[in-house]
Structure 1
Amino acid sequence: MAENLTSEGKCIYCNEVFSQKEITKHLTGHLKKLEKDIDRANTENFCHIEVEAGEMFLHLLVKGSAKMKDIDTFLRKIWLDCCGHMSGFSHKRAKVSMSHAVENVFAAKVKIQHDYDYGTTTTVFLKGHKKYELEGKDKIVLLSRNEPLKIMCSICNAKPAICMCTVCLWEEPSFFCESCTEKHEEVCEDFSDYANAPIVNSPRMGECGYDGGVIDKDRDGCFAN
């Protein structure tokens, strides 16, 4: 991944954009207000969970009664699933069952690891924040997601990259805009054969033929000027 990338996310409640460091505090303010103003007669536990993979992040509001399997399914749909590989949660190297209720796993500052594909593994980390008494039908609400990172073409450095070379990336930055893609094809036989992978807003980018998720499609692609 390119260095010095700016990671920002939009708040679901006010549509304002905040840095990766600022968004947690901002969302907390909204959730506290929602809890304060709501009729407690029809509420249930919801957990604010942050999912982090380097510069990429998600903030989720998850029903406490939901199962860990529900989070696994969501991560697969938005970030990870390419070929139906196995996956699992762990805490301090101990396995966390998919059948556990979310509210029984996450407390403030508890950090859970999620691994997808035990061959070419993609690892993300889930961090528990506060719990809230709220109303809601959905098991999982996407509170914020990092906007597509500003990954620029490695050749011209003038246009956003739309694809990458999974072979050459091991040796040097290999991200290409549309016009520079042909230049790389001339010097890398593997690129046109199998190594051309799309730029997607996911930590699974470039792995095992992954080409994007099936939810939140508007923020799933590459950066656009």
Structure 2
Amino acid sequence: MNTIVSSGKCRLCGRLIGKAQMTKHLKTCVSNHAIAAPAKQGKRTRSFHIIVTATYDPRYWLHMEVPAKVTFARLDRVLRDIWLECCGHLSAFSFPQERSPRISSGEDLSQILARLMTLDYDDDIEEQGRLMRARVGSRLVPGMKFEYEYDFGTTTNLSLRVVDEWPTSPSNAKIRLLARNEPPDIRCALCGKPATNICPDCESTDQDCTFCDACAVGHRCGEEMLMPIVNSPRTGVCGYCGPSVEP
């Protein structure tokens, strides 16, 4: 997997936009495609503009509009539908929390300050259950970064960032996909043509692992080991073969 795709399609206007320019583009495009019916005075609510990126493979990214009143469980469901769901694995969101430091004798001020800045992540199951039931508006603010994990065995890690918020109609209760990366240009390791299959066993041992249909015939690990290449950071992981279901 070699070439990093740096563009994606805006789901509002259909234009292909560079990854670095997509945030600026959406600021205007969302305004141009706002729901026409205005809410009554004093009845408007908020939606967040969230960028989701595969933590260890930034070729995969999403821009989403997430109403403040939807729950983290709903956001979890949408991420699963677009990119992740294969076997009903557990998942979790995590937010950075400051530790309460213990000051040891002999520590200088720089050491104490360094530990004060240390982040920890709360993975308590009970707390995670409460978080999933909570509305995203109870935790999120523009500028916030947080993390998401799907499957605690063969984990897919996502990094989320709240880049903006804007007023929206109270009737807007659905998460909206604003933009998504175009499929990465993944090539066959043997002939250089577009690859359609990946071998998880070969990938796990850093061997050539992506093949076109022709070169996949007679693969040494067995053709039954091959999985389809899909537009997801979970390509080749566990039993994930898609399909992608966009909201």
User: TM > 0.5 between the two?
Assistant: yes
Write the deviation string for residues 77-104 of structure 1: whole angstroms up to 9, x where unpaired: 1111111011010012135511221122
- Kindly provide the amino acid, as one letter, of the partner of residue 44 in structure 2: T
Gap regions ≥5 residues in structure 2:
97-120
Indicate conservation of the 8 Å contact 2:67/2:175, yes or no.
Answer: yes
Counterpart CA distance in 2 for 1:44 and 1:213 is 33
Indicate conservation of the 8 Å contact 1:67/1:99, yes or no.
Answer: yes
Q: 1:165 and 2:199 equivalent?
A: yes
Partner of 1:76 in structure 2? 80
Gap regions ≥5 residues in structure 1:
218-225
Q: TM-score, normalised by structure 1?
A: 0.85
Q: 1:198 and 2:228 equivalent?
A: yes
Partner of 2:160 in structure 1? 126
- Kindly provide the amino acid, as one letter, of the partner of residue 199 in structure 2: C
Aligned residues: 210
Indicate conservation of the 8 Å contact 1:167/1:191, yes or no.
Answer: no
Partner of 1:221 in structure 2? none
- Kindly provide the amino acid, as one letter, of the partner of residue 179 in structure 2: S
Partner of 2:147 in structure 1? 113
RCO greater where, 1 or 2, for CA within 8 Å and sep 6 or more?
2
- Using the TM superposition, name which of 196-205 and 42-51 deviates more: 42-51
Write the deviation string for residues 125-183 of structure 1: whole angstroms up to 9, x where unpaired: 111011111235342001011111111111111x2111011111232331111111115
- Three-state SS of the structure 2 residue aligned to 1:144 is strand
Counterpart CA distance in 2 for 1:200 and 1:59 is 18
- Percent identity (aligned): 33
Indicate conservation of the 8 Å contact 1:35/1:132, yes or no.
Answer: no
Counterpart CA distance in 2 for 1:137 and 1:119 is 36
- Three-state SS of the structure 2 residue aligned to 1:83 is coil
Q: TM-score, normalised by structure 2?
A: 0.78
Q: Rg larger in 1 or in 2?
A: 2
Indicate conservation of the 8 Å contact 1:81/1:213, yes or no.
Answer: no
